[in-house]
Structure 1
Amino acid sequence: MQELIRLLEQEGLDGLYLTRPENVRYLSGFSSPEDAQVYVSREGALLLTDGRYTVQAEEESRIPFKILTREERKAFFEGLEGRIGFEAEHLPYARLEELRELAPVEWVPTRGLVERLRIKKTPEEVRLIQKAQALADEAFRRILPLVSPGVKEVELALELEFYLRRHGAEATAFPIIVASGPRGAMPHGVASEKAIQEGEMVTVDFGARYKGYHSDLTRTFGVGRVDPEKKRLFDAVLLVLEEVLAQLAPGKPAKELDALARRVLEKEGLKAYFTHSLGHGVGLAVHEAPGLNAYTEEVLEPGMVVTVEPGVYLPGFAGVRVEELVLVTETGFELLSRLDRGWLEV
């Protein structure tokens, strides 16, 4: 908290009004952050919520909290003074106009103040991400025996979600992707009613949310014998992943890893079919800093948790993605998934 207060001082702010759920949960530990805010002043932080959450706030919040009625909320904002920051990338304009009417202070747009603190994970945060990843690993193992020609993509997605929820996940990390055959060329091919066919590749991309923290995992495998040209796509993507992991270490500029991935695919004649960034940070949000892309200036540091997820997508033919979740360490990295990533036919 002291580091955040120092950031306020550097920005010349008297207070900071936080509405992004991930940031609210990060500072407070409150598990219903969509219905709460955090106000940070130079004296400390305060969780703001309403009477539905009195008991929950008492049990969960690690910072002082206020349960506010509508009238009390109005009085709270009327009492603010000075320059107050708000999260420009999250607070809706209509809500900002309401705040300006309530509090005649200078409302100052800010970007990424709390995210700067979240980018490097504490040991406890890493433990929670590891738990989320272990849930995903085991869920994937459980569905493999269910895969056969005729099974629908959505049926596999339902089995994954059922396992995750039954074993302690709050939810899936995002809508589960199960994309088979030509649908594999859709990077975000959310599970459909399509039946999986013999000889197709299947890409499964999913994760768990555990106590607010996320995991992210992608595997591509074959159902029966797969055409060698499709298998070549898998081999190329796996080669990219191995080459990037061989270079991943603290001090490495993130955009250099993205560039490396594209050079490898260029040699394979597949660069044009890699249509997204190499990876992203994972934590209280499933997509957060740092980004592994061509446009970032971020450098990897110990404590960061990032995905490495190269892929190629040939419309009308097939697609492949293989994704690992890694913790950057002092000497290199630690894989957080314990699944094999080699070629598999079921």
Structure 2
Amino acid sequence: MNNRLKKFREALSKMDLDAAIISGRANTFYLSGFTGDTSFMLVGMDKVWLIVDFRFTIQAKEEAAKGIEIVEYKESFAQTINELLSQNKIEKVGVEGDKLTLTEYENFKEKLTKAKVLKNIGNILERIRMVKEEDEIERLQQAVLIGDRIFDHIIKFIKPGMKEYEIAAEMEYQMKKLGAKGPSFDTIVAGGPRSAMCHGTASDYAIKKGDALVLDFGVIYRNYCSDMTRTIFIGEPNDQLKKIYNIVRETQQTALDSLKSGMSGFDADKIARDIISEAGYGRNFGHSLGHGVGIEIHEEPRLSMKSKDILANGMVFSVEPGIYVEGLGGVRIEDMVVLVDNRPRNLTTSTKDMIII
């Protein structure tokens, strides 16, 4: 935690701030190790306070990193923070503008009377979190391995006639059985025409012969997420679905082979988008190529048409091209990679050969 706090304090200093109030749950965990909710952190240049209510006091004492002072608020979070500002002569304070509700922000403006400056720090912490430490990469790898094991299990479990939610339930049962906290997002199981829905969460649709079946899922393992997608077929697919599958697989492999440190997220996305467009399906690839994965399922960097992010060693992100044809179905293939020595190392090991059940 000390290295993370050091980087954050350096960023605050450049903004001419004395401290910052952290309200985002992911950022609180990143800086403190505390996994509960209903909390605020006050990060000063020399001290750090974790402010919680009675329900989380014991948990905070057990989880928070050494050197962090646990404060149980009495009247309100804002009043407690204001007292800490006064006691420690802190006047210029940053806040996470996009993590506060309007009510919380207005409450801070009213009650933090000791703060002469209240400034939005934007996504400073999200930018720091882009580059993972070794321990983070290890947790992410373990989360991905659980996903690989679930995929290996589920392709043996699936049978024609099953409903999507039956498949999703089995996948989520296996997550906890294999040591994960649970899913990192709503498990996507989308069959037949529903597979053309990019985020087709499981329904009562019964899969049948000829269907494409998109399985997009992830787990939370020791507070870190995984994300993978495979598309399989229930019986022999038609020629168009086979063609689409091969295009997506080739696109993903070419994108993976092209990744390197120093490349922009825009350029990475363009490589994949150009291949799919040249194949005649450009309008059927409507989402970005990928996104960072870590404590949260969607993090920076972004690999998209609008991205200005520059890829660097230690970044972990998804690579997930897809083609979706309304009325027919869709295909998406997704791996998670980490950049090491300027090149990608694929964390996902599940086969991408066409699977027909």
> Does the TM-score normalized on the shorter chain lie above 0.5?
yes
Partner of 1:196: 207
1:312 maps onto 2:323 in alignment: yes
Partner of 2:60: 57
Partner of 1:321: 332
User: What SS does structure 1 have at the residue aligned with 2:75?
Assistant: helix
Partner of 1:207: 218
User: What SS does structure 2 have at the residue aligned with 1:168?
Assistant: coil
**Distance in 2 between residues matched to 1:226 and 1:343, nearest whole Å:** 10
Do the aligned partners of 2:312 and 2:342 also contact (CA within 8 Å) in 1?
A: no
**Distance in 2 between residues matched to 1:65 and 1:137, nearest whole Å:** 40
Partner of 1:83: 92
**Distance in 1 between residues matched to 2:75 and 2:287, nearest whole Å:** 47
User: What SS does structure 1 have at the residue aligned with 2:351?
Assistant: coil
Partner of 2:44: 41
Partner of 1:256: 267
Structure 2: gaps (5+ residues): none
TM-score, reference length from structure 1:
0.97
Give the root-mean-square deviation of aligned CA atoms.
1.2
1:99 maps onto 2:104 in alignment: no
Which letter does structure 1 place at the counterpart of 2:81? F
Q: Show the 5 A alignment for 1:11-160.
A: 11-32=15-36, 34-62=37-65, 63-71=67-75, 73=77, 74-80=79-85, 81-104=90-113, 105=115, 106-160=117-171
**Distance in 1 between residues matched to 2:246 and 2:264, nearest whole Å:** 26
Structure 1: gaps (5+ residues): none
Partner of 1:294: 305
User: What SS does structure 1 have at the residue aligned with 2:108?
Assistant: helix
Partner of 2:189: 178
Distance apart, 1:79 and its partner CA: 4.5
Instruction: Please point out which of 2, 7, 10 is paired with 2:14.
Output: 10
Do the aligned partners of 2:270 and 2:305 also contact (CA within 8 Å) in 1?
A: yes
Q: What is the aligned length?
A: 345
Partner of 1:336: 347
**Distance in 2 between residues matched to 1:135 and 1:37, nearest whole Å:** 32
TM-score, reference length from structure 2:
0.94
Deviation digits for residues 127-168 of structure 1 (CA, Å, limit 9, x no counterpart): 111111111111111111121210010011001100101221
User: What SS does structure 1 have at the residue aligned with 2:49?
Assistant: strand
Identity of aligned residues (%): 32
Deviation digits for residues 199-221 of structure 1 (CA, Å, limit 9, x no counterpart): 11100000000111000000001
1:169 maps onto 2:180 in alignment: yes
**Distance in 1 between residues matched to 2:348 and 2:254, nearest whole Å:** 18
Which letter does structure 2 place at the counterpart of 1:242? Q
Do the aligned partners of 2:51 and 2:73 also contact (CA within 8 Å) in 1?
A: no
**Distance in 2 between residues matched to 1:72 and 1:260, nearest whole Å:** 51
Do the aligned partners of 1:179 and 1:202 also contact (CA within 8 Å) in 2?
A: yes
Do the aligned partners of 2:73 and 2:80 also contact (CA within 8 Å) in 1?
A: no
Q: Check 1:123–1:241 CA distance in 2 against 1; reply closer, same or farther (3 A cut).
A: same
**Distance in 2 between residues matched to 1:92 and 1:46, nearest whole Å:** 21
Distance apart, 1:185 and its partner CA: 0.6
User: What SS does structure 2 have at the residue aligned with 1:17?
Assistant: strand
User: What SS does structure 1 have at the residue aligned with 2:119?
Assistant: strand
Do the aligned partners of 2:49 and 2:71 also contact (CA within 8 Å) in 1?
A: no
Distance apart, 1:266 and its partner CA: 1.4
